[in-house]
Structure 1
C-alpha cells in the first residue's frame, strides 16, 4: 500500500516567519460563508487542542464583502494580511448569483501566483464505503494557465472564441513539482494527461516538456495518457494511478472525479501552492442549505489544515491530528454525509466530531496505516528558457463574411484578386476545416473565416507587407476582425495546419 501523503513546504523559509524564536507561525484565517464558520470553528478547536504552533489573523472575504461592493470578494486590508502572512486557511465562500462578480478562488490563485493545486484522493474503506478501497491518488493540477486565463471574445454574430494559453515555464514548473512531490513522498509513478492528439501545439508543449523533465527522474516511472481515456480509467480503476499531473481544465475535472469516487467530497482537502504564498481549503462548497444546522463535516477543512501544517514546517503536529482523525473514522464516529448504518457507530454533529478527534489526540489508527510526514520542501527550480530564432512567414486573416450563400469558392476568388504581391492565398478554413481550395459542399460554414496568406516564393515576410495586405483586403470591402502572425521557431512551424490541409 502506498504511504499516506500530504503537501510539504515549497518554500519553507518564506512561510515560517513568526517571531525570532519561530514559536508561532502566522496564518491568515477566513471563516467563509454558509457552513464555513461552523467547520472552521471545529478545526480551530482541534488545532488549539493539538497545540499547533500557529498564530491567527482573521480576515474577511466572500459573500458579505461582495455585497459591500467589492466585486472580487476581498478587501485591500485582507490582501495586505495574506501577503504579510503568506499562508491562508480558507473555509468555503459563496459567490452571489448574478453578473459582475469575480470568482474569489481564481482571483486568489492568480494574484498570489499559486501555480500548483494539489489534491490527494484516498479511500478510507472499509470504514467509509468506497467503490475503490485501494485508491490513493494525488492530482497535481496547473492552476493559472490554459483556458482558465478567461480571455474570450465575440468576433462575429455567430462565433465566439476563448484563448488557450500554455507557457513553457508554466508547464515545466508544474511538471517538475509533480516529480519532486513523488520523490519526496515515496510515490513511484507520475502520469501526464493531455489531449495532444488534437491540440498539438498547446497540449503538445505540455507533453513534450513532461518527456524532457522525466529523463531527470529515472527513479520515477513516467507515462502519458490521452485525457479522455485517462479520465475513464481513473473513474474505473483508480488504483492504477499514483500521481497525475495535467493542465488546468483537465485537472479541475479529474480532481472532482477522484474526490467523488474516493468515498466523499466531504473528506477531501486541497492545497494551492506558489513560490511566495499558499492557500489551504476544503474541496467542497459552502452548502448554504445546511448552514446553521450543526451537521456539516469539518473533515475536508481539517485535512487541509494538516496539509498546511506540513507546509509551514510542523509535520509532527500534522501527524498528531491526522492520526487522531483516522482513529475517529475507524471508531465509526461519522457526520451525516458519510454515515452508514453498516459501518458507522455514531452520527456526530460538527462539534461532536471535533471533540472525538480531540479525545483521540496521541492515538493512532489500528487498521488504516498511520501517517508519517516528512519535514523538508518540494523545491522547484525551472530551467532557463532558450530563445529560439523567430521568423515571420505568413499571416492568418480572420474575416466576418456572409455573402453569396457563404460560398467559399467565391470568397477565395475575391481574396486572390485583392491580395497584393508577394501574397498567395494558401487556404481558407471555417471552424478549423479547410473549405478552399478543394472544399467539400457538405461542410457547414458560419460567418467566421480564417484565410491563410503565405508569400509566393516562401521564406520570410515583414510587418509592412502584412499591413499592405490588410489595407488591400479592407479596400476590397473585407471585414477583418483578427489577425494571427505565422512564425517559425528555429525553422519549425509555430502554427497548426487546417483540418483537411
Structure 2
C-alpha cells in the first residue's frame, strides 16, 4: 500500500467511483480547480503550488476565490469550475456558528455535486512524537445526509426541529464505497459507527445497510459495529483495533478530530472526497486555522499529502511518490518542521525544505 495514498487495484475504490470522469487532458496537462478556502487555506495551497512548480507537475490551476462574494454565489462559482474540471484541490471554508442562510459552505458544495464519500487517512508519521505509535486507520464518512442534511426550522418560538435524514440508497452506497476501499487497500475489516441503541430507525438503518452489504457482497472483509460514544473512547485508548471506520457525517467529524490528535494534529491528515463524477481533495481534519492566519506558521503537510492523493487519482503516480517521500523525509529529519510538530520552521521554510529534498531524490 502506498504510504499516504490508495494502492493500485483491478477493482475501483468504490462501485460508484468507477464511474468518475477524469478531467480532460490537453497537451499532456490537466486543469484542476484550486479553492484556497479560508484561514490558512491560501498559505497551505501556496505551498502545493510552489512544490508542483519546482517539480514541473503537469497541472494548470483554475483558482476559485469566494472573497467578496455572498455565500451562495461563492459556492456556485466553485461548483461551475468543478463541473468543468472534474477534480479540485480545496482548503476549508469557514462557517461561523452564528451564520444564517446557506449554512455550511462545505456541505453545500458536496451536496450540489453529490460528492458523497469523504476519506480521511490517519497514519503515524515518523519523526512526530505522539503518545501512541503505529496508528493506521481510515475514517470514511457519508457527506450528504444524516445530521448535516441542513433541514432545520423553529416550529414555535424557542423550539427548533433539526431533521436527521437517513436513506437506504445512500447508506448502501457509502457502505459499498467503504468495502471497496478495504479490498483495494488490503484492509481486513470495516466497522460501522452508529447510535442505533437510541436512534433505532435512522442509525439502525445505517448499521443494517453496512452489515447487509458486507455479508452479501464482501464476504472476505470482516464486518464490525460499534456505538459512537464507545468508538470515541476506544479510538483514544486502543486505536490499533480499528481498520476502516464507516460513519454518518457527524460521527465521522468527531472521530476525525480524535484521529488527528492521535497522530500529531490536523496539519498531518490527508483527505479526499469522491462522487460519481467529481473528486475534491482537501485536508482530512477540517480545521480552518483562523488563529494563525497570515502568520506563516501553518503546517502544509495535510494539503501536500492531499495533493499527492490527487496526483494518484490522475495517474501521475511518480510525481505523487516523489512529493510524498520528500515530505516524509523532511519531517523525519526534524530540522525544518513547523511549530505544531515540535519545530521552529515557518510554512515557507518547511515548503522550501521539501523542494530542496526533491532535488536530491
TM-score computed with the length of structure 1 as normaliser: 0.65
1:14 aligns with 2:21: yes
Return the match for 2:297 from 295, 303, 306.
295
1:349–1:55 Cα change, 3 Å: same
- Structure 2 match to 1:353: 350
CA displacement at 1:292 relative to structure 2: 2.5
- Structure 2 match to 1:326: 328
Alignment partners' CA distance in 1, 2:62 and 2:159 = 47
Alignment partners' CA distance in 2, 1:318 and 1:15 = 17
The runs of 5 or more residues in structure 1 that have no matched partner are 365-501
1:188–1:74 Cα change, 3 Å: same
Alignment partners' CA distance in 1, 2:323 and 2:265 = 20
Q: Is the 8 A contact 1:168 1:206 kept in 2?
A: yes
CA displacement at 1:76 relative to structure 2: 4.4
1:338 aligns with 2:335: no
Query: Bigger CA drift: 237-246 or 149-158?
Result: 149-158
1:197–1:121 Cα change, 3 Å: same
Alignment partners' CA distance in 2, 1:310 and 1:36 = 22
- Structure 1 match to 2:177: 177
- Structure 2 match to 1:495: none
CA displacement at 1:299 relative to structure 2: 0.9
Q: Is the 8 A contact 1:323 1:363 kept in 2?
A: no
1:198–1:13 Cα change, 3 Å: closer
- Structure 1 match to 2:10: none
CA displacement at 1:296 relative to structure 2: 1.5
- Structure 2 match to 1:45: 50
Q: Is the 8 A contact 2:309 2:320 kept in 1?
A: yes
The runs of 5 or more residues in structure 2 that have no matched partner are 8-12
In our comparison, the structure showing a higher alpha carbon Rg is 1
SS at 1:164 equivalent: strand
1:269 aligns with 2:274: no
Alignment partners' CA distance in 2, 1:204 and 1:77 = 37
- Structure 1 match to 2:167: 167
Cα-Cα RMSD: 2.2
Alignment partners' CA distance in 1, 2:171 and 2:270 = 24
SS at 1:72 equivalent: helix
CA displacement at 1:265 relative to structure 2: 1.0
Describe how 1:215-230 pairs up with structure 2 within 5 A: 215=215, 216-230=217-231
Describe how 1:29-108 pairs up with structure 2 within 5 A: 29-61=34-66, 64-65=67-68, 68=69, 70-72=70-72, 74=74, 76-95=76-95, 98-100=99-101, 102-108=103-109
- Structure 1 match to 2:143: 143
Alignment partners' CA distance in 2, 1:98 and 1:166 = 25
Aligned residues: 349
- Larger helix share, 1 or 2: 2
CA displacement at 1:335 relative to structure 2: 0.6
Q: Is the 8 A contact 2:79 2:109 kept in 1?
A: no
Q: Is the 8 A contact 1:7 1:118 kept in 2?
A: no
Q: Is the 8 A contact 2:196 2:227 kept in 1?
A: yes
SS at 2:341 equivalent: coil
SS at 1:106 equivalent: helix
SS at 2:340 equivalent: coil
- Structure 2 match to 1:26: 31
Higher relative contact order (CA 8 A, sep 6+): 2
Alignment partners' CA distance in 1, 2:170 and 2:75 = 28
CA displacement at 1:158 relative to structure 2: 5.5
